[in-house]
Structure 1
Amino acid sequence: MSGIISAPQFIRVFPACDPAEQGTYKASVLQAFYVAIYEIGCLGGAIFALMFGDRLGRRKMMFTGAIILIIGVVIQVTSFRGSWAGGQFIIGRIVTGLGTGFETSTIPTWHAECAKAHSRGFAVFIEAAMISTGTMVSYWVDLGFSYIDSSVSWRVPIALQCVFAIGLIAMLLFLPESPRWLVSKGHMVEGQRVVAALEPAPFNSETVILQTKVIHDSLEGQLRQRKRDLITNGPTQHFRRMLLGSSSQFFQQVGGCNAVIYFSTPIFEEYLGQSRNMSLILGSVLATVYALSACISFPLVDKVGRRKLYFIGTIGQALSMFLIMGCLIPGRDSNASNGAVVGIFLFLTFFGFTWLELPWLYPAEVNPLKTRTNANAVSTINNWLFNFTVVMFTPPFLASTAVGCFAFFGAINLCFLPVIYFYYIETAGRSLEEVRTPTTKDTASTADRSQRNEAVADFPCPRSCPRPPSASSSRLLLPPAFLPSDRRHLRSWLRREGVVRQDG
């Protein structure tokens, strides 16, 4: 919407967004509302995912979301002046957002549950990087269609969303359901079949059987999922895990990303003195840099780790915002606006390979399967709620004081650092069943650690298979949150399932 919301062709159909008729401040508020109301729909989709997502399953949620998105797009592009155009467009935005909320609450979880531990970050980052790729495509499409002096210039770019939704529907005909969701619902055979396909390995191979058992073992006593489990602590720390995942989505939004992404074209034009055409070109180049920067994260996410990327992104974003602020201080040389352009490009570069992807991966990693769907939905609710908030207050804030707006976002980014340092754990390289109680340091007592070490069995690591269990020297320490309280029961279960030798 960045290249559309202030376009003359759009304003002809929606005069409520015209500064000449409404005044600068009122028009900026209404433009923000036309853009931000989409996030309300996304919020509704995330709430639906929280209530019913685990009941429907990952594939059905993605399929339903794509259908709803298409319906919303059709409502938007059939808005005509004189036929309650503004109201119809707003309803279409809400419906489209509802479908997007389904997708963003489900796809990261599905990705994390289907990927292996050593490549999970890479797989989820590719999915998140598609956000920047889509942004890049939309900016260039907006630029190309801006030369058409009719409503086609905004109807076609909005309608193109249907192409990707139809593509998702087509792929879902071939993509599997999450093996962890299947096992949690008692579909053991189908879950094992998906594990075999993802490995890939024969259905009855030791590797596949072992991985299915590990997933099933982590679910012992957890098959009945309740919403109130999200607010429990104790040994499982469900509430703390949920807060960690949700905070990452909150930080992503209040850090100012959508203040730049949604309104880069108006910022270039109204506050940095660029022409309309140059603003569109700069916005398109900015989106391209944004998409390319997302590719930097691919080799780093599993090697550098999550915490370090969080630190790099936060510091880079804060410094970029302060650079923009400094260049917009009144009384400076007119060329200082070029420095503000550089600051905007730097901000999206740092955001593109860190905070763009990490908040979509992190909640799915730190939350156990018992609460993963619900906790991920809460995180997504957080994302869309504060996305709406930031998009609504940014245009009036910029109209009042552009310097203060960017100073505010820079200061907010600095506030993330102590939270990341003291509370964010490293999850790189661990399977979802191995992620422990979320503390940056192991605070367990000596007695707890001794008891935990005694509970180590000759349990082959999934990545070290396919050697037979009896011949394996690889030892896997099961997380205490997933161990039965009685060690004798554990060893009995391991012998019964054939994982440990009878004389072991």
Structure 2
Amino acid sequence: MAFGTTRNAPSPEPKGALSTSPSPSPSRDIAHNGRNYLGLRGAKLGWAITSVATIGFLLFGYDQGVMSGIITGEYFNKEFPATYGSDQHASTIQGTVTSVYELGCFGGALTALFLGERMGRLRTICLGAVIMILGTVIQVTAFDAHFGLGQFIIGRVVTGVGNGFNTATIPTWQAECSTGASRGMLVCIEAAMIAVGTFIAYWFDFGLSFVPSHVQWRLPIAFQIVFAIGLIAGVCVLPESPRWLLAHGHEDEGTRVIAFLRGEAIDSEPVLREKRNILAGIARVQSEGHCKNRDLLTGGKTQHLRRTLLGASSQVFQQLGGCNAVIYYCPVLFENSVHLDRTLSLVLGGVLATVYALSTLASFTLVEKLGRRPMFLIGSFGQMVAMIITFACLIPGSVSASKGAAFGLYLYIIFFGSTWLELPWLYPAEINPLRTRTKANAISTSANWIFNFMVVQVVPTMVASIGWGTYLFFAVMNALFIPVIYFYYPETKGRSLEEIDLLFAKGYLNGGGMEYVTVSKTMPRLTEHEVERQIAEIEGVEKVEGAGGVDNGREDVENARGRQGSEPTLLNEVRADRGEDVNDPATTFNPIKGG
């Protein structure tokens, strides 16, 4: 007898029926009630949401790159004399002024994790943009006679908090509103905007470097407000996440948003079916309770701990590979390491930012054609070679040899922009199951900000004290990534989230260690039915043949469920990743029915 999956055909909720969704509070108005979202529907509305989401990452990239051209600027150093010079003390101050932004991002991301669900996606993004504007104002009004450098540092931290709010919220809002785009493509578009923002910042810094006044550094800092206002304007006319609306009692508006996003009538079957799926997922989360911190430490067939560590390690490796040593300090590196004059250093920094932005285009196709593992490995090897070229050309100390070091930095940014820029934002979201995804991704993002802070803080001091040894360090780090990725990072290209759950379960049952990579190579692509059948077999839910087989089989099913207790099973996690209600018998895999 074949295994099968039984599902009731979805049907619209009858009028007058008691809704199973949360009831809206009378004291709360439904968000955006009656708005038509600029008259956009379907794919056009989806692209409008993506466009506004990319403004947030454009702002992220701009704020990352803007300090690179002004930290050694004449009028910035005159305003804040402690930042002038290339000795260890001045280099440490430069690192602190630049890196405190990352601490603000870390704090903002953690705060958004606790407040974001209560406030909603759009309000959180608006708050983040407003905080960034406030931080920008604090920075541009800093004068040496009025707390000077301390005020500027506080402004950097405040701006970082706002960016932390946005980077923690925008991807969720976009994902919950998007239709038809692959996971990889969406992440690549967002990552490309980080590079474009850096490109704008570098050339803006260069253009204003010829202005003989404090406008040279105040205007590039203030220009961030333009992006922040654009972000606020965009989210004010676009819809809230339908999942958030339905989860917080705004059922009518949530249904209306789904209809706009799908380009369908509000009472059409696709809209009602998607609404039921979302409500089923919400009911599942409520029935299981919230993910506890200790759930991230579990092993077994779900492998939560391994998956959390894999995602976090990709973010840590991105930073230890040296990316922000190049992005934040490119003109400084050209001045202090390659020994070029400031104007030429700014020009080469702008060209590097241009190459950086263009290199991201390759990832749009490579991420789905080559896969995650090959891109990780190629990127690590390429970055290692680039850093070897850089430090080797700096050893002689001659001007002619140092030109080869400049080539090494360009080669590095090409490999980084086409591989490691995007993958650490995509990989954690793919390998973590729905139950732990929010907390696991928060850990990954937090790891990124902390190691980002560490690298940006110490690089100027490293360059001042050990010179070419800085690039040797990053070459060694990239070399160390290669065996870790090769032996422990399973491929996820083309896999559904349910297949990835099964992949880790099979790897665990095969002995763990490097078996996860082996399974990812050998396990064929599976249909939804095949995934659920194999998961059921792994869970020990099997049909018993012979007399009374159906009754005995049902008894075995109940016994298996009883043994699993109240803890979420692997089978439930697979169904949760599809948005199904694990308590609904209509969607439950039944191993004792024929296919």
Which stretch of structure 1 is more off in the superposition, 120-129 or 339-348?
120-129
1:424 aligns with 2:489: yes
User: Matched residues in 2 for 1:301 and 1:359: separation?
Assistant: 12
User: Matched residues in 2 for 1:15 and 1:58: separation?
Assistant: 42
Is the Cα–Cα contact under 8 Å of residues 243 and 278 in structure 2 kept in the other structure?
yes
- Relative distance call for 1:313 and 1:206 in structure 2 (3 A) is farther
Deviations along 1:25-67, whole A, 9 cap, x unmatched? 1001111111111111111112212333333332222111111
Q: Of 74, 99, 122, which aligns to 2:137?
A: 74
- Relative distance call for 1:16 and 1:166 in structure 2 (3 A) is same
Q: Of 392, 407, 410, which aligns to 1:345?
A: 410
- Aligned amino acid, residue 208 of structure 2: F
Aligned to 1:466: none
Q: Of 471, 475, 479, which aligns to 1:414?
A: 479
1:481 aligns with 2:573: yes
- Relative distance call for 1:246 and 1:181 in structure 2 (3 A) is farther
Aligned to 2:106: 43
Alignment of 1:361-372 (within 5 A): 361-372=426-437
Aligned to 1:106: 169
1:451 aligns with 2:537: yes
Q: Displacement, 1:317?
A: 1.0
Is the Cα–Cα contact under 8 Å of residues 102 and 157 in structure 2 kept in the other structure?
yes
- Aligned amino acid, residue 4 of structure 1: I
User: Matched residues in 2 for 1:48 and 1:177: separation?
Assistant: 20
Which stretch of structure 1 is more off in the superposition, 416-425 or 37-46?
416-425
User: Matched residues in 1 for 2:375 and 2:307: separation?
Assistant: 19
- Aligned amino acid, residue 148 of structure 1: V
Q: Of 50, 54, 69, which aligns to 1:3?
A: 69
Deviations along 1:222-254, whole A, 9 cap, x unmatched? 233244243444444333332222222111111
1:306 aligns with 2:402: no
Please, what TM-score do these two structures have when normalized by structure 2? Answer: 0.72
User: Matched residues in 1 for 2:245 and 2:506: separation?
Assistant: 33
3-state secondary structure, aligned to 1:110:
helix
Aligned to 2:400: 335
Q: Of 336, 340, 350, which aligns to 1:284?
A: 350
Alignment RMSD (CA, Å): 3.1
- Relative distance call for 1:274 and 1:421 in structure 2 (3 A) is same
1:492 aligns with 2:557: no
Which stretch of structure 1 is more off in the superposition, 104-113 or 439-448?
439-448
Is the Cα–Cα contact under 8 Å of residues 191 and 421 in structure 2 kept in the other structure?
yes
Which stretch of structure 1 is more off in the superposition, 353-362 or 104-113?
104-113
Is the Cα–Cα contact under 8 Å of residues 302 and 504 in structure 2 kept in the other structure?
no
Give the number of equivalent residue pairs.
470
Aligned to 2:151: 88
- Aligned amino acid, residue 389 of structure 2: L
Alignment of 1:160-309 (within 5 A): 160-185=223-248, 190-218=253-281, 221-223=284-286, 224-228=289-293, 229-309=295-375
User: Matched residues in 2 for 1:418 and 1:217: separation?
Assistant: 42
User: Matched residues in 2 for 1:391 and 1:349: separation?
Assistant: 20
Aligned to 2:10: none
User: Matched residues in 1 for 2:367 and 2:109: separation?
Assistant: 26
User: Matched residues in 2 for 1:439 and 1:370: separation?
Assistant: 15
User: Matched residues in 2 for 1:342 and 1:240: separation?
Assistant: 38
User: Matched residues in 2 for 1:234 and 1:301: separation?
Assistant: 30
User: Matched residues in 2 for 1:149 and 1:256: separation?
Assistant: 33
Taking only the aligned residue pairs, the percentage that are identical comes to: 50
- Aligned amino acid, residue 474 of structure 2: F
Is the Cα–Cα contact under 8 Å of residues 462 and 470 in structure 2 kept in the other structure?
yes
User: Matched residues in 2 for 1:220 and 1:400: separation?
Assistant: 58
- Relative distance call for 1:251 and 1:163 in structure 2 (3 A) is same
Aligned to 2:563: none
User: Matched residues in 2 for 1:391 and 1:138: separation?
Assistant: 17
Aligned to 1:149: 212
Deviations along 1:266-324, whole A, 9 cap, x unmatched? 11112112111100000001001101111111122233322222222111111111111
Q: Of 370, 374, 390, which aligns to 2:439?
A: 374
Deviations along 1:459-492, whole A, 9 cap, x unmatched? xxxxxxxxxxxxxxxxxxx9662349xxxx9783
User: Matched residues in 2 for 1:174 and 1:347: separation?
Assistant: 40
Q: Displacement, 1:216?
A: 4.6
Q: Of 95, 108, 115, which aligns to 1:52?
A: 115
Q: Displacement, 1:211?
A: 4.1
Q: Displacement, 1:347?
A: 0.6
User: Matched residues in 2 for 1:189 and 1:236: separation?
Assistant: 36
User: Matched residues in 1 for 2:78 and 2:251: separation?
Assistant: 58
User: Matched residues in 2 for 1:87 and 1:364: separation?
Assistant: 38
Is the Cα–Cα contact under 8 Å of residues 311 and 428 in structure 2 kept in the other structure?
yes
Q: Displacement, 1:120?
A: 2.3
Please, what TM-score do these two structures have when normalized by structure 1? Answer: 0.84
Q: Displacement, 1:383?
A: 1.1
- Relative distance call for 1:57 and 1:452 in structure 2 (3 A) is farther
Is the Cα–Cα contact under 8 Å of residues 110 and 178 in structure 1 kept in the other structure?
yes
- Relative distance call for 1:481 and 1:226 in structure 2 (3 A) is closer
- Relative distance call for 1:205 and 1:239 in structure 2 (3 A) is farther
Q: Displacement, 1:362?
A: 2.4
Q: Of 116, 119, 128, which aligns to 2:191?
A: 128
Deviations along 1:402-442, whole A, 9 cap, x unmatched? 22111111111122223323333334445556642563965
- Relative distance call for 1:233 and 1:212 in structure 2 (3 A) is farther
Is the Cα–Cα contact under 8 Å of residues 384 and 475 in structure 2 kept in the other structure?
yes
- Aligned amino acid, residue 320 of structure 2: V
Aligned to 1:399: 464
- Relative distance call for 1:167 and 1:434 in structure 2 (3 A) is farther
- Relative distance call for 1:258 and 1:335 in structure 2 (3 A) is same
3-state secondary structure, aligned to 1:88:
helix
Is the Cα–Cα contact under 8 Å of residues 366 and 438 in structure 1 kept in the other structure?
no
User: Matched residues in 2 for 1:340 and 1:416: separation?
Assistant: 22
- Aligned amino acid, residue 285 of structure 1: V
User: Matched residues in 2 for 1:348 and 1:290: separation?
Assistant: 6
Gap regions ≥5 residues in structure 2 = 1-66, 511-530, 543-569, 577-581
Is the Cα–Cα contact under 8 Å of residues 235 and 481 in structure 1 kept in the other structure?
no
